[in-house]
Each structure stands twice: as C-alpha cells, then as structure tokens.
Structure 1
Amino acid sequence: MTRPVGMLRAWRAFVLPGVLLALCEIYGRRAAALGSDALAPPTAALRALADAARDGTLWQATGFTLGTAALGLAVGAALALVLGFVLGLSRRAAHLGGLTVEVLRPVPSVALIPLSVLAFGFGLRMELAVVAFATFWPMLILVQVAVQQVEPRLLEVSRVLGLTTCQRAFKILLPAIVPRLFVALRAGVGIALVVAVTVEVAANPHGMGYAMMIAQQSFDPALMLAWLGWIGVVGFAINAAMVWLQRRVAIRMGAAA
C-alpha cells in the first residue's frame, strides 16, 4: 500500500501545472483564432522546441549558458569560501570589511553589465564576471555565518593540536559547515542561471537568453515560449540534482560518523 500511496502523492504535484497548461492551450488557440501573433499555445511551443533540438540550436545555446553559469559560480563560490572563512574566524577582519560588503552587496548584478562590456567586450568573460559578482555576495554571507556558528570547542581543539590555518580550514571548519555550504551552493546555482540568462537577454549575443530574444524579435511566439519553458525545465533539473547530491553527501557523512 505504501508504494501506490507514494506514487499518488507524487502525481498530485503535476495537477496544478497540468491545469495551467490546459488553460494556456485554450487561451493561446483562441488568441490565434482571433489573429493575434503575440501568443502561442503550449503545443506549438513544444513543436518549436523539438525543431530547435533537431537542428542543434537548443543544445548549443543551453551548453553556453550552463557552462558560463558554472564557471561564474565556481569563481564566485571559491572567492566566497576563502573570504567567508576569513571574515567568520576574525572579528577584526569582519569589522574592517563590513562596510565594504554592505555597500557592494546591494548593487544589482545587471548594473555591472556596462562596466563588464567595457572591460571584457561581449562574450564569455563578460557574462562570467557578472555571474561571479552576483553569486559571490549571498554565498559570502552564508559561509561567514556558518563559520561563525561552528562550535568554539572545535577551534580550541585545533589550536591545542597546533594545526595550521589551512589544516584548520580543511579538517575542522569545512566538514562542520558542509550542510550550510550546500544551502549556499543551492542559492548560488539558482542565482547563476537567472543572471546568466538575464545578461544574455540584455547584452550578450550567445546562450538561451539571446535565443529567446531573437525569437521575440522575429515575431515567433511559439519559439520564444519554447525557450522560456526550457529555461524553467533546466532550472528545475539543476535544483533536483543539487538536492540529490546534498542527500547523498548527508548519507555518507552520517555513515562515516
């Protein structure tokens, strides 16, 4: 009985999206019948998505966006991890850097696009810089708070054992903050994808965001909605993968303990 009940509960999650898609299908068909070229039903978007998959543009644009988002996230996460350890361990460093963090953290990542275009031109490096900037600040705050909440006795033991700063970071701090670190990574992954697509819509002639803009400028609402839906599917898949990875790491850590 447990398995059928679990399957029934899993299928319930698809009820609301199914209803919304059905309503969009009805509305899109009615708008098309009235001569509107601004909307398209989901079935037309699905056919456009299949065409993009067959000619390879879907995979090329998706690969560019995901690659850039991953590189930007890696840069932002590495810098946030290092600086988060420093600010979390040292009250003096947190006090000295607090004003700088609070001034730069609220700056919208989109506002950095003109500066990045001047510095790097259009392309991979420009988008990477904006994504790294956007993901750095929230991850920095989460890592800093996680380090500050580490049990003080663990740090005292590391001092008694004479561990160096690097040894303390990798043997004491990093294992202690792994659960919170995954929260920071999940937040960073979502931000990285959103910012990457936004940069492509606004300035970068590559990736999924640019492909969606080209579809809009070509008055192809089916293809535009296809890209919009595909971006949502990609984001859902990435988040599901992160949740699965977090559970696997938690299980391994529990077994090791």
Structure 2
Amino acid sequence: MRGLALPILMFALWQAVGMSGVVQSDAMSYPSQIARAGLGAVMDGSILVATQQTITTALSGLAIGGSLGVALGAWFGLSHRAGRLAQTSVEVLRPVPSVALIPLAMLTFGYGYGMGISVVAFACLWPTLIITQSAVAQVPRELLEVADGLELNWLQRLMHIVMPKIVPSLFTAVRLAAGVALIVAVTVEITANPLGLGYALVVAQETLHPDRMFAYLIWVGLLGWLLNAGLVTMQRRLFVRWDTA
C-alpha cells in the first residue's frame, strides 16, 4: 500500500491545480474528468474492445517470438558451433528497432492483427533468445557430461538436464518480453494499425478529447502492471524454490 502513496499524492495535486484554474488549457484534464471519461469508455464498451485487440496482438506476438527465442537460445547454448555461426546474424538483426519493420509488415500482412503480431514477435524474439542462450551456457558442464554418459539425444538433454536448471531465467525472459510486447503492440497501433488502445489514443487526441486520451494512457500503464504482477504471481506459486522476483 505504501507504493500507492506517491501516485495518490500526485493525482490529488493534479486535481487541485486543475480545479484552481491556475493552468488554463484545452489540452489538459484533471483526474475527476479523466475518471468520468474512463467510466464512459467502459460503459460504451470501447475500452474493452480496444483492450481485447491490444492484448490479442501482444500475447500472440509474445507466444510466437518468445517460443522461437527460447528454442533458438537453447539450440545456440547447447551447440557451440551453431552459436558461433549465428552470432553475426543475431548481432546484426538484434539492434534493428522493431518499429522499423512496420512498413515491411504492412506490405506483407496489410492492416490488422497480422501486422501487429509480426512486429511484436520480432521484438520479443531477442530478449528471450539472449537470456535463454546465456542461461543454457551456464548449466554445469558436469551435468552435460552425465547426459553424454547416458547417451541422451539433444531433446532428452534439453528436457531432462537443461530445462530444470534454466526455469528462473526463462521466467525473467518472459517477464521482460511481456513488457516489450505490450509497448510494441501499442506503438504499432499508434503509428500505423487502426486497432487497439494505441489507435484509441490517437482518435481521442485528434477529436480533442484529452480526458479520454489520458484515461486510455493510464489504462495502458495499469495493464502493464497487471501483466507483470500476474507473471510474478505465477512464478511464485509454480516455482517457489526458484523465486527471484
């Protein structure tokens, strides 16, 4: 509860300044107006539809990019040859901003979920790949030697020896990628895709409804907090002995 003290104080100060009339601007709204606008968006269903669209894009991209990142990271971590061969490609592609792929994604998929999901998947690929590869590389060599002695194949080695050791790192990767997924999904919607919360923000701004714009903006922040809190809770309940939150 102590963590709420500063936000509550800031909103109270914002409300007081707004009601005092010290700042006169059509581009600003104070918290009570924002709350009414947010309630209106809930009542007419617009914020629920936009949230569903953004979450669908973010989670689908996270699932695709994260799964691919974990698979490639495990492969590169277990195979030094594969890791060396892929190093240049990874280091060249990883710094490319995900939003720079929007024109390509638009040409390939057009407007809609396909464009957003592809860009989000690209953004989520790299943190999961790098963290997974690093975690696999730190698995004790003695355990891998035991796997060699038992003549385990690549998949058996991964599932029975490597995966139990890297679970904490995988959750860290997923939590990091989940935040990236939401950020990129909203960015794509603001920039190019007429879907979701990002597009709703732009429409509210263009139609001169700053109260609704702030309501959507605050809701995006709350969504990110809820997503991370849900993942932390899952980590604590499923993997108590590996809890690193």
| Superposition TM-score tier, normalisation by shorter sequence | over 0.9
Is 1:111 equivalent to 2:100 in the alignment? Answer: yes
Deviation (angstroms), 1:73: 0.3
Counterpart residue number, 1:147: 136
Inter-partner Cα distance in structure 2 for 1:166 and 1:35: 65
Is 1:40 equivalent to 2:25 in the alignment? Answer: no
Is 1:168 equivalent to 2:170 in the alignment? Answer: no
* Correspondent of 1:204 among 189, 193, 196: 193
Is 1:13 equivalent to 2:3 in the alignment? Answer: yes
Deviation (angstroms), 1:252: 7.0
Give the unaligned 5+ runs of structure 2: none
Q: TM-score, structure 1 length as denominator?
A: 0.91
Counterpart residue number, 1:71: 60
> How many positions carry a matched residue from both structures?
243
CA RMSD in angstroms, aligned pairs only: 1.5
Change over 3 Å in CA distance of 1:225–1:59 after alignment to 2: same
* Correspondent of 1:181 among 160, 170, 189: 170
Counterpart residue number, 2:114: 125
Change over 3 Å in CA distance of 1:108–1:253 after alignment to 2: closer
Inter-partner Cα distance in structure 1 for 2:120 and 2:66: 11
Inter-partner Cα distance in structure 1 for 2:220 and 2:38: 11
Q: Residue 21 of structure 1: SS of its match in structure 2?
A: helix
Counterpart residue number, 2:207: 218
Deviation (angstroms), 1:41: 0.3
Residue pair 1:135, 1:188 contacting (<8 A) in 2 also? yes
Deviations 1:11-69 (A, max 9, x none): 221111111111222233345x7652100001111111111111111111101101110
Q: TM-score, structure 2 length as denominator?
A: 0.95
Inter-partner Cα distance in structure 2 for 1:27 and 1:241: 35
Residue pair 2:168, 2:242 contacting (<8 A) in 1 also? no
